């Protein structure tokens, strides 16, 4: 895929709000990790979140599927508000897939079993049907031939693609990526990014924490910069990289580019 | 001038590195210190092994039916004693006419367990469930009788290896699940569940098993309401199970702690509930990690069952001791203890080997 705009326009964004975060705060004990976060994500949007480590970006997206609990404000995912209600949490997790920095595949299960497990036990799908779905997505990430292997036998890039397939099996409407390429060797980053670009082209709503600025430029329709638990800047990629507003963003960009 | 690389052909290793001579050099005589230890060890083996073989096999008394046949030749072991008492070592005071019931139960168990070791048997889960839930009922019915026209055999007559296996079998089968539940409880976020688990574990781990058995056999009846009768064997069993499950809990907890947080999070993100993520993701990995610790506890439990002697239950060791303090066979303690050691060793070593093969089989090559 090229860096030109027409391609990007092909990925349509609708008015339907998928994620709405209003005045969200979070503390770890006394430590105020997230301050007054406001964010609206529309269906089909690809948002890249960047910022220095410890800026709260991971914590923010982990609040969206309730791996972390927020203490103030509202998070509404496709019309469902995240509260202590387990039913709501289950409903949200059904909508939201997540890909982690360290893959977090289940090492005691084969690649295919990793993909089918939740289909069988959460969606109550018959095993045969689940395996069909699993193979379908393994083909999508182009590693169907590894289905019978264990995660420990695959390269990092392959493992991360399995992790993406595993999430996609649950047919989520939103995908969260928490630094998906940070733990990979340089020559494996591209295969994972290519998979993510294809996913973006299919119209998936994506929230991606990454320092791959090339990816942000090509795929994102918004870039968010966070520092010290706050959203400092939010802009379309073009403007974000060429005319950053705040000094903090300028400093950050000068350090990573 | 450019350097051109010509590949070297594969050469055979020097003769001193292979074969018997190579092995000896590398392993036994690689240095002066190694040579010294090799010679010293050989001398010690020479000192101990031939006399042992003489005593146990060559000079031993194999044939006869009373101590008279052993008294003539006192330089060898008296295996006649073992042969004469063998039934009691196996069955305790179980009535001789009913031995078949114990044998049948043993054969049934072996027959049920064999398919579990076959690679291509597909109903392992069902069979395992049958062994865990149906077999104990069948075995108890066979042992205790009093139904289907079987003669009533009180638990006080159960003994020998049979009793050892009943106690350790029940102990092993019951302590693992209770231990798992306690370990999960101890790591739970719910304060009441957590503190109950901690209190339970620390209480049982803090007292010696002998104390537990004494309490179960002597003190517990004092607290029970008048007229309630709780079988002595059952009381000992409950004591052993609770005691060992506290140890098991800590072993399992060690495994749970070794599982990275990311595994819990991935399971949650996929929408798995607490019990499903524990049962499908966390426990299979955690238990696999602590197989050595679990089997260690099983082996300790197997040997600890000998302590029931002090509350008047006659397990294998107690039956053997009862044998050589019998006036008819006085003085054959060594033979008795050798046999006891051998039988315990066979069982414990089998458990150890099985756990090693299990570890190998479950290894999925994931280096963490």
List, as ranges, residues 175-234 from A with C-beta within 8 Å of B.
Answer: none
| Burial of residue A238 (number of CB atoms within 10 Å: 0-12, 13-18, 19+) | exposed
| Contact state of A152 with B365 under an 8 Å Cβ cutoff | yes
CA pair distance A28, A83, nearest whole angstrom: 18
Between helix A186-201 and helix A156-169 the angle, nearest 10°, is 20
Q: What is the pLDDT of residues A92-140, one digit of tens each?
A: 998 899 999 999 999 999 999 999 999 999 999 999 999 999 999 999 9
Give pLDDT, residue A179: 92
**Cβ of residue A118 closer than 8 Å to a chain B Cβ:** yes
Query: What is the average per-residue pLDDT within A160-184?
Result: 93
Cβ-defined contact of A105 to B272 (cutoff 8 Å)? no
- Verify whether the Cβ–Cβ distance B272 to A97 is below 8 Å: no
Q: Is B360 exposed, middle or buried (0-12, 13-18, 19+ CB in 10 A)?
A: exposed
Which stretch of A41-45, A88-92, B10-14 has the lowest confidence by average pLDDT? B10-14
- How far apart CA B213 and CA B207 sit, in angstroms, is 10
Looking at this predicted complex, what is its ipTM?
0.89
Q: Do B364 and A122 touch (CB under 8 A)?
A: no
Domain boundaries, chain B: 160-324
pLDDT tens across A1-57, in order?
344 444 554 456 778 889 999 999 999 989 999 999 999 999 999 999 999 888 999
For residue B368, list chain A residues with Cβ-Cβ distance below 8 A: 107
**pLDDT of res. A3:** 42
Please write down the HEC assignment for all residues of B330-362: CCCHHHHHHHHHHHHHHHHHHHHHHHHHHHHHH
> Which residues are paired to B315 by β-bridges?
B160
Predicted local confidence at residue A207, as pLDDT:
94
Look at A94 and B263 and tell me if their CB atoms are within 8 Å. no
Retrieve residue A61's tokens. 């997206």
CATH 1.10.3720.10: does it fit domain B160-324? yes
User: How far, in Å, CA of A137 to CA of B48, rounded?
Assistant: 67
* CA-derived radius of gyration, chain A: 18
Q: What percent of chain A has pLDDT over 70?
A: 95
The two structure tokens encoding residue A40: 């609206």
Contact: B265, A167; criterion CB under 8 Å: no
Q: Taking Cα atoms as reference points, which of A190, A191, A182, A23 lies closest to residue A99?
A: A182
pLDDT for residue B15 is more than 80: no
Please state, in angstroms and rounded to a whole number, the distance separating the CA atoms of residues A25 and A4: 38
Q: Report how far residue B314's alpha carbon sits from residue B232's, in angstroms, rounded to the nearest whole number.
A: 12
Cβ of A122 within 8 Å of Cβ of B272? The answer is: yes
Provide the token pair at B359: 């570890």
* End-to-end Cα spacing for chain A: 22
What percent of chain B is predicted at pLDDT more than 90? 32
Order of strands across the sheet that contains A46-50 = A96-99, A174-178, A205-209, A46-50, A222-227, A230-235
pLDDT in tens, B134-179: 888 888 888 887 777 777 777 778 888 888 999 999 999 899 999 9
pLDDT in the model for residue B365: 63
Alpha-carbon distance B156 to B217, whole Å?
A: 13
| Cα angle B252-B119-A154, degrees, rounded to a multiple of 5 | 65
| B270 reaches A (C-beta below 8 A) | yes
Which single residue is written with the structure tokens 């791959």?
A: A212
Of chain B, the percentage scoring pLDDT greater than 70 comes to: 97
Residue found by looking up tokens 């709000």 in the block? A17
Contacts of B269 in chain A (CB under 8 A): 65, 67, 93, 96-98, 167
| Chain B CB contacts of A93 below 8 Å | 268-271
């Amino acid at each position: 895929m090229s860096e030109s705009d027409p391609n990007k326009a092909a990925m349509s964004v609708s008015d339907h709000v998928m994620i709405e975060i209003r005045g969200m705060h979070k503390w770890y004990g006394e430590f105020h990790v997230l301050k007054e976060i406001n964010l609206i994500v529309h269906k089909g949007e690809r948002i890249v979140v960047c910022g220095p480590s410890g800026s709260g970006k991971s914590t923010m997206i982990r609040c969206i599927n309730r791996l972390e609990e927020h203490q103030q404000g509202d998070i509404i995912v496709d019309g469902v508000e995240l509260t202590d209600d387990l039913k709501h949490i289950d409903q949200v997790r059904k909508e939201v897939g997540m890909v982690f920095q360290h893959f977090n595949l289940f090492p005691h299960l084969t690649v295919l079993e990793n993909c089918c497990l939740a289909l069988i036990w959460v969606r109550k799908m018959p095993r045969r049907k689940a395996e069909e779905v699993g193979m379908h997505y393994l083909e999508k990430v182009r590693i169907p031939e590894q289905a019978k292997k264990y995660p420990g036998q695959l390269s990092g890039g392959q493992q991360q693609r399995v992790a993406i397939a595993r999430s996609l099996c649950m047919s989520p409407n939103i995908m969260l990526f928490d630094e998906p390429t940070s733990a990979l060797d340089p020559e494996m980053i591209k295969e994972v990014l290519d998979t993510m670009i294809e996913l973006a082209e299919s119209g998936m709503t994506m929230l991606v924490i990454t320092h791959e600025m090339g990816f942000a430029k090509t795929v994102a329709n918004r870039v968010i910069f966070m520092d010290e638990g706050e959203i400092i800047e939010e802009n379309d990629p073009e403007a974000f990289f060429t005319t950053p507003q705040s000094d903090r963003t300028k400093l950050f960009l000068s350090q990573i580019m | 001038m450019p350097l051109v690389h010509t590949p070297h052909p594969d050469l055979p290793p020097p003769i001193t590195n292979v074969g018997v001579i190579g092995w000896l050099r590398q392993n036994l005589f690689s240095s002066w210190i190694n040579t010294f230890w090799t010679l010293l060890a050989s001398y010690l083996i020479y000192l101990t092994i031939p006399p042992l073989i003489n005593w146990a096999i060559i000079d031993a008394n194999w044939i006869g039916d009373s101590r008279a046949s052993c008294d003539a030749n006192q330089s060898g072991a008296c295996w006649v004693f073992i042969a004469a008492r063998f039934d009691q070592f196996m069955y305790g005071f179980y009535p001789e006419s009913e031995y078949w019931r114990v044998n049948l139960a043993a054969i049934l168990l072996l027959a049920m367990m064999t398919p579990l070791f076959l690679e291509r048997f597909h109903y392992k889960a069902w069979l395992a469930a049958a062994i865990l839930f149906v077999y104990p009922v069948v075995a108890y019915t066979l042992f205790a009788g009093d139904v289907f026209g079987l003669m009533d055999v009180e638990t006080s007559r159960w003994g020998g290896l049979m009793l050892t296996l009943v106690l350790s079998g029940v102990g092993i089968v019951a302590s693992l699940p209770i231990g798992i539940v306690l370990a999960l409880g101890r790591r739970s976020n719910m304060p009441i569940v957590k503190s109950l688990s901690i209190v339970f574990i620390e209480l049982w781990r803090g007292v010696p098993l002998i104390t537990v058995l004494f309490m179960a056999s002597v003190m517990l009846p004092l607290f029970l309401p008048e007229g309630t009768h709780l079988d002595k064997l059952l009381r000992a069993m409950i004591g052993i199970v609770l005691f060992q499950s506290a140890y098991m809990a800590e072993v399992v907890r060690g495994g749970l702690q070794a599982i990275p947080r990311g595994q819990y999070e991935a399971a949650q993100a996929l929408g798995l509930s607490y019990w499903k993520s524990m049962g499908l993701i966390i426990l299979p990995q955690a238990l696999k990690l602590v197989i050595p610790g679990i089997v260690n506890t099983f082996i300790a439990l197997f040997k600890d069952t000998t302590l029931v002697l002090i509350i008047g239950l006659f397990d294998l060791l107690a039956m053997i001791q009862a044998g050589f303090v019998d006036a008819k066979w006085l003085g054959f303690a060594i033979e008795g203890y050798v046999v006891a050691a051998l039988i315990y060793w066979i069982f414990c070593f089998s458990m150890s080997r099985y756990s090693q093969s299990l570890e190998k089989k479950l290894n999925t090559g994931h280096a963490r």
